[in-house]
Amino acid sequence: MKIYFAGSIRGGRDDKELYLQLIQYISQYGQVLTEHIGEKNLTEFGETILQDHGIYTRDMAWLREADVVIAEVSTPSLGVGYEISKAEDMNKKMLCLYRTEPNKRLSAMIGGNANIKIAHYATLEEAMILIDNFFNQSKGVE
């Protein structure tokens, strides 16, 4: 099982520790292709070895290769929005995890889209249960 995990990089790294914890948890279900999203040294300046076109090409290849997509959508990100749209085009099994916070709302283009499964959570433990449910259901329909 290959998993594409999407999270914000240049949109802001406020959630980087959470991404790392989610990636570590998700790894029990398969190979997370985008492990670098959880890197604690990866700042919002982004990757520095690959140029932007290289990053785009690699990430699109990983997205095509992935069996499932898990996106953490609490931090607004152009790249994550773009990836969710492409994953939808590719009919990937996808879960969007959104951490509920006062005075914040998920984009209507994501939250109002009936093709996209959104799971709201408050704690890491809740997110883990949602991830378990997603993989158990995915198994069921294969």
Residue ranges binding its own copies (CB under 8 A): 8-12, 44-47, 51-57, 59, 73, 75-86, 89, 103-114
Query: In whole angstroms, how close is the CB of 125 to its own copies at the nearest point?
Result: 25
- Helix (H/G/I), strand (E/B), else coil: 142: coil
Query: In whole angstroms, how close is the CB of 9 to its own copies at the nearest point?
Result: 8
Residues 3, 34: Cα–Cα separation, whole Å: 8
State which residue, 103 or 123, has the beta carbon closest to its own copies. 103
State which residue, 47 or 126, has the beta carbon closest to its own copies. 47
Query: In whole angstroms, how close is the CB of 113 to its own copies at the nearest point?
Result: 5
Query: In whole angstroms, how close is the CB of 132 to its own copies at the nearest point?
Result: 25
State which residue, 31 or 51, has the beta carbon closest to its own copies. 51
CA proximity to 79, closest of 3, 23, 32, 9: 9
CA proximity to 42, closest of 23, 60, 29: 23
State which residue, 12 or 24, has the beta carbon closest to its own copies. 12
Residues 89, 18: Cα–Cα separation, whole Å: 27
CB 34 within 8 A of CB 5: yes
For residue 121, the cross-strand partners are 99
